[in-house]
Amino acid sequence: MTLIFFYLRKFFTILKNEVFVLPYRVAVLLFFAILLLLPLFTDDPYLLRIMTLTSIFAILAASWDLLSGFTGQMNFGHALFFGVGAYGAALLNKYTGLPPWGAIPLGALAAVSAGLIIGIPCLRLRGTYLALTTLAFPIILLGIVFAIPDLTGGELGISGIARLARSRITSYYIAVVVMLGLCTLMWKITDSKIGIIFHAIREDELAVRASGINTTRYKLLAFSLSGFFAGISGGLYAHFMRIAGPSTLEVSLSFQVVIWAIFGGIATIYGPVGGVFVLFPLMEVLRFWQDYRILMFACIVLLILLYMPDGLFRWLREKTEKECPRCKIRNVALRETCRICTASLD
Amino acid sequence: MSLIIDIVISGLISGSMLALLAIGFSLIFGVARIVNIAHTAFYMVAAYCIYFVTQKLGVHPLWAMGIAVVLVTGLGLVSYQIFINPIREHHGAVLIATIALAMAFQEVMSLIFTGTFLSVPSLAKGFFVILGVKVFYQQLITFCVALFAIGVLWFFLMRTKLGLAIRSTSQDREVANLMGINESRVALLTMGISVGLASFTGAIVVPLAVLEPHMWTHPLIMMMAVVVLGGLGSLKGSFLGAYILGFAEALVVFLAPMGAFLKGSVALSMMILVLLIRPEGLFGVAFEEER
């Protein structure tokens, strides 16, 4: 009993001293709470559907960030992982009758192997060469998909695969919980030693190599991790929409991922997730002006970039927080002195 | 036999189109490090511009080409000044700004002209026959004009002072600046030349192409493949790479079953194969790493 009280007290102390002191931590907490409690307040099928899709794409954008934001391996063909995950899960489900919980991870493993296959030739390229080359892979696969319509359904895709879950709310919870879990996992990965090496590879690969780190192995690790997460989101998408079509491999999806991630702010994980949660529902709101939808979307992205070229969430964080010059602890921008070491913040 | 001629004609035309586009793309990348996704969107806008001027206003096609090139170049410079120049130091932001620009152009065009397929009559009607294959005069004109334009551009870059400034800026921005070259003005000028080339390509290709708002995506992918294959920043590489990929596409379309679907795949696979052997492309100049 006392043990429970001890842990409860510890939990509240952490909540009070570590979480409530910084606005962005409160925002993350609120984000978790709102997403998990949303079905209690509304069961509007349209809203739940949008939020489910948003969560699925949030995984995709965060996985792009893991590869391109952190490791600096600009990937313009992220739709490849998504598409392989979607087609993999759909084919497994349709031809072997594997239920979604088995088909999605196996589809993601297929995406990992795709990541390794494109990772190995791409290791020799860097920067813009890499970006322009990776653009090619989903298009090559798309050509193959169209060329063998017996297996892949060609233009129509594979339809009639199993539902993610029986009810709408269960599907919502599956997508949201998987999204929150995987994004936390990705954030943990990028916060660990591996994440530091990823950062370092982006900044100066030669220096990392000189420190005795096998950068090839780490870059391949980044490709396969990113492929795995993107593959999971592809599989979720296929089972949620009950179709895996050529749209999952299109160039526009690859571009869309880049827009979401850079709009939110790269090399942060929370940035791309937030970017999707801002931009994807925005697209739905703009549906009221159907004809002008994409135009307005493009204009909003252009205008926001003019003022916040580092991304929306990085900009917000910069405005609301200050780093203590002495102990490097982050503080609310309103404070005069640091909350830990009381050094004055300028 | 006639199949071979068909392949040669189709390869030459798409090759010259890709060469013009790729040279423009690679110029602005070299000078300002801008990966301009909107490059082929300018090509699309120019094509629509010609359609509008000739079909709706009844201007002679030759004049229409001039008007289109001037207007689209102006458009390119204005959008560069407003949207790209202020954030030029942030490469990621520039990248999605150009994607957003391309999307915006596509939407504006589909709002004005709707999504229906349009076409423009050719400059010269008629055809002649080589070994039983019809060769339209328009195809000949497009090919010759494209070659001529590439020649003029080569002369401009290699033999004039401005060309020297552009080449030196793309080799090393800081040193070029120290030598008294106004780097931002060169970047603006190069943007103008690059967009001008894109719109010129649109102008000469439009009689052979079908106009629709999505007509920019396929050339974009092929153009990027050409640039990577030939080596970024190499004029010769872009030129050769364009014809290699143009012929690869033509061969697949005419010879392979389901060729129309596979043409992009085969051309891009070729690019990847070349990159496996030579990571910097055929004639790649190793850009010094930016720190």
CA dihedral angle for residue B175, residue B177, residue B180, residue B186, rounded to 10 degrees: 120
| Banded model confidence at residue A307, pLDDT cuts 50, 70, 90 | confident
CA dihedral A77, A81, A82, A83 (to 10 degrees): 90
**Least Cα separation, residue B178 to chain A (angstroms):** 26
B290 pLDDT band, cuts 50/70/90, is very low
Averaged pLDDT score across all residues of chain A: 88
So where are chain A's domains? 1-37, 47-269
Global pTM reads 0.87
Q: What radius of gyration do chain B's Cα atoms show?
A: 19
- Answer whether B83 touches A (CB < 8 Å): yes
Q: Distance between CA atoms of B31 and B25, rounded to whole angstroms? A: 10
Residues B124-175 have pLDDT tens digits of 777 777 777 777 888 888 889 999 999 999 999 989 999 999 988 888 888 8
Query: Residue B260 pLDDT > 80, yes or no?
Result: no
User: Residue B195 and residue B207: Cα distance in Å, rounded?
Assistant: 20
Closest by CA to A267, choosing from A54, A74, A127, A24, is: A74
Residue at B140: amino acid letter:
L
Q: What is the dihedral of CA B191, B195, B197, B201, to 10 degrees?
A: 160
Report the alpha-carbon distance of residue B143 to residue B154 in Å, rounded.
17
Separation in Å, CA of A185 to nearest CA in chain B: 25
Any idea where the domains of chain B sit in the sequence?
A: 2-213
What is the reported pLDDT for A150? 84
| A51-99 pLDDT tens trace | 999 999 999 999 999 998 898 888 888 999 999 999 999 999 988 888 8
pLDDT for residue B259: 67
Interface check for B37 against chain A (CB to CB < 8 A): the answer is yes
Return the H-helix or E-strand segment holding A101.
helix A100-122
Residue type present at position A204: D
- Tell me whether strands A321-323 and A330-332 are parallel, antiparallel or unpaired: antiparallel
The residue that leads in pLDDT, A259 or B74, is B74
- The secondary element (H helix, E strand) that includes residue A331 is strand A330-332
Question: What pLDDT does B8 receive?
Answer: 87
The CA distances from residue B68 to B61, B73, B201, B214, in Å, are 10, 8, 11, 19
Q: Token match 């106004």: residue?
A: B182
Spatial distance between the Cα atoms of B238 and B242, rounded to a whole number of angstroms: 6
Averaged pLDDT, A157-168: 85
At residue B286 the predicted structure's pLDDT band, cuts being 50, 70 and 90, is: low
What would the pLDDT profile of A252-299 be if each residue is shown by its tens digit? Answer: 898 889 889 988 888 888 999 999 999 999 888 888 877 788 888 888
pLDDT tens per residue across span B234-249: 788 888 889 989 988 8
Percent with pLDDT over 90 in chain A:
39
Cα-Cα-Cα-Cα dihedral sign, residues A198, A202, A206, A210: negative
Interface of A with B (CB under 8 A): 121, 124-125, 128-129, 131-133, 135-137, 139-144, 146-147, 251-252, 255, 258-259, 262-263, 266, 291-292, 294-295, 297-299, 301-302, 305-306, 309-310
Residues in chain A, total: 346
CA A295, A300, A306, A311 torsion-angle sign: negative
Query: What pLDDT digit, counting tens, does each position of B179-235 carry?
Result: 999 888 999 999 999 999 999 998 888 888 888 888 888 888 888 888 888 887 778
AA letter at A61? A
- Report the complex ipTM: 0.80
Using an 8 Å Cβ cutoff, are B275 and A121 in contact?
A: yes
